[in-house]
Amino acid sequence: MTTLELTGRPRVGVLGGGSWGTVLAHVAASAGNPVILWGRDPETAEAVNARRRNPRYLPDLELHPGITATTDLAHVGRDCGVILVVVPSHALRETLATLGDHLDGSHILIHAIKGIEPVTFKRMSQILLEETCCKKIGVLSGPNLAKEVAMGHPSATVIASGYQEVITAGTEILKSKTFRVYGNPDVIGTEIGGSLKNIMAIASGLADGLGFGDNTKALLLTRGLAEITRLGVGLGAEAPTFSGLSGLGDMMATCFSPLSRNYQVGNRLAKGESLEAVQADMRQVAEGVRTTQTVARYVRTHGIYMPITEGIYRILYEAIPPKEALAALLDVSRNPYEGDAGKRAARVP
């Protein structure tokens, strides 16, 4: 008996009709599962059901007939034992507020969202725990450019959860000859790696846009990984997670690929466009832009040394010219451990 059957509900739910949500629904359906794909947009649902297409995000992919699209969250809660949550991070709480009314403790929720909540600095799994009664929660993250997975290029991902049952369920529903799932108990490390690599993708796009070569890129990526690991371990993650698929792996895919939205943001900024202009004509959100702000603010108040993140933040939000910010990174006269970032004035006399 499969884990999905054990939940007592025979379908897989996918929340979010963006490109990654649609591709995951396609993978799950191709593995033989009946899939319900939820999206906000009735036209997309209509197109999926009538023409097996998602014209907005993946016009070229013919979707598996096992997918049924819906705009009704109650439908997902009622019929799906395993639900993949792939809505944009800023829409998560709102979506769960409704879905939560239709969930119980037997549901398995696996999110595939990159991002950290601004101000609260909460990870997506923490939001799932806050907004629903579910405990069997996991995260799916890895070097997975949606279009490549859709084309059936060999790829792999990680599902992290404290519950073996969640990992097993996720592995079963996504089983395919070209897509492999690895399990990991380290939820924090998997989420932090997946979210913060978007900052490094912007950095990578910047370096390319400025015409720098591979030395610069290697510098940014390895030191970028080091600062992400430093933050992650401080939050309770295991260091080895960051050198795995969901850490280094994801970062390589995102930073080397011109397909990545975050890379494109960096690349166009380097060529002199403004952030507003870049964002205006991007159809999907570049999570890295928001993540940079969230992380930079957090590390400033908590005294964590993350110079690359700090540099990207200054380019994005303080209009520092990219070249200047990158140069500051290489300035050896600044001893990293004596920076004043994060130090707060004493309040006691």
Q: Which residues are catalytic?
A: 197
Give yes or no for residue 94 binding other proteins (CB under 8 A).
no
Q: How far is the CB of 190 from other proteins (least distance, A)?
A: 16
Residue 238: how many CB atoms within 10 A of its CB?
A: 16
CA distance 81 to 90: 24
Sheet holding 80-85, edge to edge: 67-70, 35-38, 11-15, 80-85, 108-111, 137-141, 155-160, 179-184
Rounded CA Rg of the chain: 20
Q: How far is the CB of 105 from other proteins (least distance, A)?
A: 4
Give the footprint of other proteins on residues 4-33 (CB under 8 A): 5-6, 8
Give yes or no for residue 131 binding other proteins (CB under 8 A).
yes
Residue 22's nearest CA partner among 8, 49, 82 is 49
* Residue span binding other proteins (CB under 8 A) among the ranges 82-90, 100-108, 259-267, 287-295: 100-108
Q: For other proteins, give the closer residue by CB, 211 or 349.
A: 349
Give yes or no for residue 101 binding other proteins (CB under 8 A).
yes
Q: How far is the CB of 164 from other proteins (least distance, A)?
A: 5
CA distance 307 to 224: 9
Give yes or no for residue 177 binding other proteins (CB under 8 A).
no
What is residue 245's DSSP assignment? I
Q: How far is the CB of 303 from other proteins (least distance, A)?
A: 9
Over the window 43 to 82, marking each residue x when it contacts other proteins by CB under 8 A and - when it does not, the resulting string is ----------------------------------------
Residues contacting other proteins: total by CB under 8 A: 29
Residue 68's nearest CA partner among 39, 109, 106 is 39
* Residue span binding other proteins (CB under 8 A) among the ranges 108-116, 131-139, 144-152, 270-278: 131-139
Q: For other proteins, give the closer residue by CB, 330 or 348.
A: 348
CA distance 112 to 22: 12
Identify the three-state secondary structure at position 325: helix
Q: How far is the CB of 36 from other proteins (least distance, A)?
A: 20
Q: For other proteins, give the closer residue by CB, 108 or 251.
A: 108
CA distance 151 to 303: 44
Q: How far apart are the first and last CA of the chain?
A: 66
Pairing between strand 67-70 and 80-85? unpaired
The one among 52, 56, 64, 100 contacting other proteins by CB under 8 A? 100
Q: How far is the CB of 38 from other proteins (least distance, A)?
A: 20
Tokens of 170: 């996720």
User: Site residues (CB under 8 A) for other proteins?
Assistant: 1, 5-6, 8, 97, 100-101, 104-106, 129-133, 135-136, 162-165, 340, 343-349
